[in-house]
Amino acid sequence: MTQRIPVIENIMGANERLAAVNRSRLDAAGVFSINLMASPGAGKTSLIEHTIRGLMGKLRLAVVDGDIATSIDADRAAAAGATAVQINTGGECHLDAVMLQGALAQLDLNQVDLLLVENVGNLVCPAAFQLGTHQSILIASIPEGDDKPYKYPGMYRGVDALVINKIDLLPYIDFDMDYFRRGVEALNPGLITFPLSCRSGEGVEAWLEWLLAQTAV
């Protein structure tokens, strides 16, 4: 155990240093970037599609999609109108700063205003690895259940904003919103939250307006 701890610390330290390099590169190009995290099926790609279409003509968007395999999500982002780069992690359950560095090298950042990074679907590993993005956003969804802040505190504690997706399912699923919000508030007081539905479009406009405000800062 005493040998394992320094190795982990070295890996994390190296990742943080490279994340700082990524951030500097994004800052130099004037790109605002967000790291989108969620469990599989929460709606990351659907929200990205809505974001691309909703901000078309207002911002120049690029998407980096992280998946264990396939280019399905990157293909969807490209079809929606964004420049897209796929990262296949080959089994890793998260993106890291090295992977994002490789993706940034494939983009003309001078032609990008907003970069959306879709992390691998997971509620554990992504929270531990900085990428160099400006903000981290968690997407929760109603079908996942109202206990997720209590089960995955590390993920909820470290994000800058929370999207609650699939609110159109609230009449049909036993989901206690007050219980869920109490768990979130205990971990991340005052966290800005966007209840929305990618299916119906309800609440999406508030999310888009917030992104526009962030890029204008």
Distance from first CA to last CA of the chain, Å, rounded?
A: 45
Q: Is the dihedral of CA 10, 151, 68, 43 positive or negative?
A: negative
Coil, strand, or helix at residue 162? strand
Band (pLDDT 50/70/90 cuts) for residue 9 is: low
Percent of the chain with pLDDT over 90: 87
Is residue 1's pLDDT more than 80?
A: no
CB 66 within 8 A of CB 119: yes
Q: Answer yes or no: pTM beyond 0.75.
A: yes
Band (pLDDT 50/70/90 cuts) for residue 10 is: low
Instruction: Note the helical H segments in 30-115.
Output: 44-55, 72-80, 97-104
Report pLDDT digits (tens) over 155-184. Answer: 999 899 999 999 999 999 999 999 999 999
Q: Give the integer Cα–Cα distance in Å for 77 and 69.
A: 16
Is residue 86's pLDDT more than 50?
A: yes
Q: Give the integer Cα–Cα distance in Å for 125 and 198.
A: 25
* Residues present in the chain in total: 217
Which pLDDT score, from 0 to 100, does residue 2 have?
47
Is residue 113's pLDDT more than 70?
A: yes
- Mean pLDDT for 23-31 is 98
Closest CA to 144 of 39, 45, 67, 46: 39
Is residue 145's pLDDT more than 70?
A: yes
Band (pLDDT 50/70/90 cuts) for residue 109 is: very high
Report pLDDT digits (tens) over 33-65. Answer: 999 999 999 999 999 999 999 999 999 999 999
Is residue 7's pLDDT more than 50?
A: no
Other Cβ atoms less than 10 A from the Cβ of 160: the count is: 16
Task: Tell me how many degrees the CA angle 121-68-117 measures, rounded to the nearest 5.
Answer: 55
Percent of the chain with pLDDT over 70: 95
Full set of structural domains in the chain with CATH: 4-216 (3.40.50.300)
List phi, psi (to 5°) of 129.
-115, 110
